[in-house]
Amino acid sequence: MGVNEQYFWSNEGTAIDKWHSYLPVYDRYFAPFRDKVPRMLEIGVQNGGSMQMWRDYFGPDAVLFGIDIEPECAKLNGLAGQVRIGSQADRAFLKSVIDEMGGVDIVLDDGSHQMSHIRASLQTLMPLLSENGLYFIEDLACSYWGSFGGGRGRPGTTLEMAKDLIDDMHHWYHDGHVNWPEFKNMIGGMHIHDQILLLDKASVPEPKRTMRGTDRPVWKGPPTGGTNGSAS
């Protein structure tokens, strides 16, 4: 059992509301940041319990900020981290928070789950995320539910956006059309877990292919300048 799992299941204090499957995902992807004093922004504070879990995990020097549209969350400011009141769809507000943080390494969107809000936050924050940073979007089930602007196969949902981003990541190999040009060559990897979309921020260079070794008894290699054929 991972560190965050242990904290969650032993917690008897401030409430933390999580799907069970999320906990090992946190431990898997947060581990490389644990000793690096990360700057983390959580969208959606609720009772503040998850911010306490992040504080316990990342330590006293980590820069932890949470935002929420609920004014009552202001009373949680200064406990496990800093809390600012505002909408995740307000781009100027988001930028002001990142400025206050001095940059951001991890974004965890557990906010309104409205499709338009998720897109607005991603379009604002992904370009501001540090190189090798992580961007989590939680509760992907909302992409199927009409009350959140979702619907199976409906354009504009988070899951449909993820499908578009897969094509965008591979624009080198098709007609070159990019659905989300603001993220072009900015996403180094994408991970889908049960109800979680995770994006890796990385500057992506043009792919290059090399065949090393002179002994080629079966396949001699691609034609000069070509990129077709099996690679092994």
Active site residues: 113
Phi, psi of 47 (to 5 degrees): -90, -5
- 30-68 burial, b if ≥16 CB within 10 A, otherwise e? beebeeeebbbbbbbbbebbbbbbbbebbeeebbbbbbb
Report the C-alpha gap between 80 and 66 in whole angstroms.
10
Instruction: Evaluate the CA torsion angle 161, 166, 167, 172 in order and state its sign.
Output: positive
Q: With H, G, I as helix, E, B as strand and everything else as coil, classify residue 134.
A: strand
